[in-house]
Amino acid sequence: MSAQLNPAQREAIRYLDGPCLVIAGAGSGKTRVITQKIVHLISAGFSPQAIGAITFTNKAAQEMAERLGKMVKLPEGQRPLVSTFHSLGVQMLRRDGQSLGLKRNFSILDGDDSANILQQALGTTDRKVARAAQHRISLWKNALVDPDRAAADAKDSLEHGIARAYRDYAATLAAYQSVDFDDLIRLPVQLLREHAEVAQVWREKLRYLLVDEYQDTNACQYELLKLLVGPRAAFTAVGDDDQSIYGWRGATLENLARLSTDFPGLKVVKLEQNYRSSVSILTAANRLIAHNPKLHEKKLWSEHGIGDPVQVVPCEHDEAEAESVVMRLQAHRFERRTKFSDYAILYRGNHQARTFEQALRKEKIPYVLSGGQSFFERAEIRDLMAYLRLVANDDDDPAFIRAVTTPKRGVGTTTLQALGTYAGERHVSMFAALFETAAEQRIGPRQLEPLREFGNFVNRIGWRAAKEPAAQVLDDLLKAIDYRSHLFATADDKVAAARWQNVSDFVDWLKKRAEEDGSTLVQLAQTVSLLSQLDRKDGDVDAVRLTTIHASKGLEFPHVFVVGCEEGLLPHHGGRGAAEESGGDEDRADAEGPASKSRGATPGPGGASADARAAPASADAARIEEERRLMYVAVTRAQRSLTLTWCRERKRGREKYAQLPSRFLAEMQLDARPKAGATVSADAAKAKLAGLRELLAGGVSSRSR
């Protein structure tokens, strides 16, 4: 093990005398440090089951578990816990949530279900209003702010209204015996704070903790860590203050600073050797991030050699930018004999992808779009999936709530709250509860009638779905709920028609699968929750990756194009920040984020915002620092070559606005100006590509002779 590690990595792995913070620069081998430290802990006498490694995404947890499995062969029940914060929270609540009044089989609402409840609480049909409130409530929960404190701290009438909705929303979730995504951290914190015996059990269960991507933790996650480690403080936190890019969803760098205060004996180890990128790329990255204040000074270095110089390509407009990037990519691929999957195009907001998709399709180049909306995440598909989930498992409370209210059938929030409260007291599902005689004492006959009518309908469909051909049952289901009429009643004809076509495509897919597999609808329904995962499997495809910078974090590519490096876009000016535009967060992405309209910035004759550069530092400092960290993340995804593009003119809506190159280009000491005699269009790349194709064709002809 030691031969493969540098001195800093060995120090981080072997230190077991107290709390440890590992400042791990981009590409410095932090995953290797975490997995090797787990191996070292086991060799030092720690029981494997008493070691926990926590990260932020299921993908990262899976990769870490797979790597660890190759290093230490242990039976399944004796392996260390490798989990996300949220999956750990689920485990804690399933085991001990009864102390907070939760039944063991509580339901977890997704973002869409939560937004539906908030719409009711707010008394609005405007989805954007509900999503904005959802974001605000999420921030409150992540900061451990309850509804009463939110109401007391509200700064204006808008926040007061959201605080009232927060109180109603919390009451509805409690009645439904449900939790949302944020509750999976908040409630375990409450559990450990209020029940000392439960806290002690978990401290004994997890005697050593390792936390990955620590810079992305919010106040709630930090508190959970503190409560889990207790006075023993046996933990290692691994993170990088230069890659903290999730302030918009509550992550705070203060958690890094707090560690040394809350744990005075904290050991700090810096990993500065980069194993990913060439020297030219790291030089640009170091110059850029040097403009941010530092909690822990570090400078990345590499033994990979100078490598290709970082290129800046000015372009006339959006379409020219996309054309130039695609042609340069093609020429580079012909020249270097690379694969399509060696290339990534990174952008600030999802709206930027459209022109690149068009240019790639024109050249018949395969690509994978990351961070966009999955087909199976569309509201109309999720509506139908709710029925199928309920047919497969009538204990699925979120599916029941969605299905019974879509389309509308006279079942209101108050009725569902009463049913949910009764079901929680009886420790049964809401579907089972509606048939119990005692339910009649809690819910009036008029309110109970449509519920039982719906329940009987689901039972009939369920009976048929287990025996009859799936195609016929599906058709009868759609006809019975009259879903097509529902779509046309709730949206304009054009939108409704598009949604109905999506439903038809989905139903045809299910029918085809049932015919090929010989499956009944019940059998299909039992696997329907996996469909969204199938839609995202793109890892093994030889294709160019199109992705937001946020969604690219943790990834690396041999060759990277970072596009739209302009003032007003990168750095982005004004608005809610990245909350709506990243596409990298599973529940809170918006396909048309603030960057698409530059909300809060008034375009001037010189660029995206006339006062952008003159804005007071005191007002803009934190925002610009996070934007600079975002650019730093983009730059450090590249291994061998990096190309940065900006447009002199960019379209927003129907208008075109003059642009200025991003200040970050100057900070990296890169010349953003067009070179004398050089074209800023794609012509040069086209000519080079044509020449390479001719050369290749000539080589093939000569060999054939």
Q: Which residue has 């269009």 as its token pair?
A: 681
Strands 178-179 and 311-315, sheet pairing: unpaired
CB 286 within 8 A of CB 299: yes
Q: Which residue has 């559990």 as its token pair?
A: 191
411 by DSSP, 3-state: which?
coil
Q: How many CB atoms lie within 10 A of CB 127?
A: 14
Evaluated on CA atoms 271, 277, 282, 284, the torsion sign reads negative
CB 612 within 8 A of CB 567: yes
Pick the catalytic residue: 270, 637, 640, 648? 637
Instruction: Report how far Cα 590 is from the mean position of its chain's Cα atoms.
Output: 11
What does the block give as tokens for 307?
């490598």
What contacts 24+ positions apart, CB below 8 Å, involve 76-81? Answer: 77/49, 78/48, 78/49, 79/48, 79/49, 80/38, 80/42, 80/48, 80/49, 80/51, 80/52, 80/53, 81/49, 81/51, 81/52, 81/53, 81/206
Strands 655-658 and 649-652, sheet pairing: antiparallel
DSSP 675: P
The Cα 573–Cα 578 span in angstroms is 10
What does the block give as tokens for 104?
């063991």
Known catalytic residue: 212? yes
CB 488 within 8 A of CB 470: no
Pick the catalytic residue: 243, 252, 352, 415? 243
As separate numbers, helices (DSSP H) first and strands (DSSP E) second, the chain gives 29, 16
Known catalytic residue: 576? no
Known catalytic residue: 153? no
Closest CA to 651 of 359, 360, 352: 352
Known catalytic residue: 243? yes
> CA-CA distances (angstroms) from residue 633 to 23, 245, 256, 513?
15, 9, 18, 41
612 by DSSP, 3-state: which?
coil
- Side chain identity, residue 528: V
What does the block give as tokens for 385?
């999936």
Pick the catalytic residue: 213, 242, 318, 342? 213
Beta bridge partners of 334: none
Pick the catalytic residue: 212, 216, 241, 627? 212
Known catalytic residue: 213? yes
Enzyme catalytic residues: 30-31, 212-213, 243, 637
